[in-house]
Amino acid sequence: MSAPAAEKTGSTVRRDPHAALEIIDVSVKFGGITAVSDVSLSARRGQITGLIGPNGAGKTTTFNVITGLQEPTNGRVFIGEREVSHLPPYRRSRLGMARTFQRLEVFGSLSVYENVLAAAEFHHSWSDDATPPRLVANEIVERVGLSTVSEERVDALPTGIARLVELGRALATRPDLLLLDEVGSGLNHEETAALGDLMIELTRDGTAILLVEHDVELVMRVCDRIFVLDFGRLIANGTPEQIQKDPAVQAAYLGADTEEQK
Ligand SMILES: Nc1ncnc2c1ncn2[C@@H]1O[C@H](COP(=O)(O)OP(=O)(O)OP(=O)(O)O)[C@@H](O)[C@H]1O
Ligand SMILES: [Mg+2]
């Protein structure tokens, strides 16, 4: 692994000076199970960073540590230069971080538009963004490709589409750092391609994306860098080309995936 030169910020040490997000030596134990073991990774501005690995590898747990929903047994979390290890989730989100959940967190009885509007209004209530929430919601619903189902109740929609509503809710908070946990699962080929295009477009404004995704084709297409977890440990990181060729990744994940598809 090539770790960039360490950078001192006050009493802290970050390793990636380009990081919008960095976690250092994070471990999480649940009783006897070590779900995450000494994981360090970063996500950079204007890039899509993949976090992949088999089921149970620790991806969602890592997201929970980053967002503050899970206290780590050990390790530190930085958003930009700021250490947030001891901040509650809402303080972290106010630093420009938003996420989607693997297990959907949307208001099923509200429409697509109302879901996004609720997030835009919440953001408007505390941020200095003066854009009227209704304008934000309209723009985002169109951007995630849901204009035609804008008035539909979310619980009447297929799960894949409901995930895009969650993406819309995250985008309505105008994040600089976006954590996506399997946001593409349940989408068809065309919808997945559109999602990939949208992610790339978001990075052009400087957004940093950390993407957990099992769709290897999507990951390889959109990611600038990829980190691979297996049994809670980081087994590789690099460009999509490097990751595809990595023997340890082949053995733990990509090889197994190919077998499944046969
Ligand atoms: N709250 C919890 N209590 C106990 N064990 C947990 C808890 N959350 C996760 N685990 C365990 O930690 C390990 C990592 O789980 P995690 O959900 O982070 O994996 P994942 O990489 O997101 O998997 P998937 O691809 O299936 O979503 C698993 O063994 C899981 O059973
Ligand atoms: Mg998960």
Number of structural domains in the chain: 2
- Looking at the structure, tell me whether residues 111 and 152 fall in a common domain: yes
- Looking at the structure, tell me whether residues 73 and 107 fall in a common domain: no
| Mutation choice for ligand 1 from 29, 37, 61, CB with most ligand atoms inside 8 A | 61
Mean pLDDT of the 11-28 span: 86
- Looking at the structure, tell me whether residues 252 and 142 fall in a common domain: no
pLDDT tens track for 190-235:
999 999 999 999 999 999 999 999 999 999 999 999 999 999 999 9
Question: How far is ligand 1, taken at its centre, from the CA of residue 54, in Å?
Answer: 11
Q: How far apart are CA 65 and CA 199, in angstroms?
A: 23
Provide CB contacts within 8 A for 193, sequence distance 6+: none
- Name the token pair of 176: 């600089």
pLDDT tens track for 91-148:
999 999 999 998 888 999 999 999 999 999 999 999 988 999 999 999 999 999 999 9
Instruction: Write down the pLDDT at residue 10.
Output: 45
- Name the token pair of 237: 């990181």
Q: What is the mean pLDDT of the chain?
A: 91
Q: Dihedral sign, CA of 227, 9, 95, 171?
A: negative
Question: How far is ligand 1, taken at its centre, from the CA of residue 115, in Å?
Answer: 28
- Looking at the structure, tell me whether residues 81 and 129 fall in a common domain: no
Ligand 1 in contact with 185 (CB < 6 A)?
A: no
Q: What is the CATH number of the domain that holds 54?
A: 3.40.50.300
- Looking at the structure, tell me whether residues 137 and 161 fall in a common domain: yes
Ligand 1 in contact with 35 (CB < 6 A)?
A: yes
Instruction: Write down the pLDDT at residue 154.
Output: 96
In which band, very low, low, confident or very high, does the pLDDT at 12 lie, cut at 50, 70 and 90? low
For 189, counting Cβ atoms within 10 Å of its Cβ (0-12 exposed, 13-18 middle, 19+ buried), the class is: exposed
Ligand 1 in contact with 102 (CB < 6 A)?
A: yes
Range of weakest confidence among 6-15, 82-91, 153-162, 217-226: 6-15
- Looking at the structure, tell me whether residues 241 and 118 fall in a common domain: no
Residue 248 has pLDDT above 80, yes or no: yes
- Looking at the structure, tell me whether residues 2 and 89 fall in a common domain: yes
Range of weakest confidence among 28-37, 67-76, 247-256: 247-256
Mean pLDDT of the 12-29 span: 89
Ligand 1 in contact with 73 (CB < 6 A)?
A: no
Of 119, 151, 174, which closes a domain? 174
Residue 229: give the domain boundaries. Answer: 1-96+176-262
Instruction: Write down the pLDDT at residue 256.
Output: 55
| Closest approach atom of ligand 1 to CA 57 | 21
Mean pLDDT of the 37-51 span: 97
Residue 20 has pLDDT above 90, yes or no: yes
Ligand 1 in contact with 234 (CB < 6 A)?
A: no
- Looking at the structure, tell me whether residues 180 and 85 fall in a common domain: yes
Of 148, 174, 200, which closes a domain? 174
Ligand 1 in contact with 71 (CB < 6 A)?
A: no
Of 174, 205, 232, which closes a domain? 174
- Looking at the structure, tell me whether residues 82 and 207 fall in a common domain: yes
Ligand 1 in contact with 3 (CB < 6 A)?
A: no
Question: How far is ligand 1, taken at its centre, from the CA of residue 58, in Å?
Answer: 6
Question: How far is ligand 1, taken at its centre, from the CA of residue 153, in Å?
Answer: 30
What residues pair up with 220 in beta bridges, in sequence order? none
- Looking at the structure, tell me whether residues 20 and 39 fall in a common domain: yes
- Looking at the structure, tell me whether residues 193 and 241 fall in a common domain: yes
Nearest CA to ligand 1 atom 24: 55
- Looking at the structure, tell me whether residues 76 and 156 fall in a common domain: no
DSSP calls for 40-63: EEEEETT-EEEEE-STTSSHHHHH
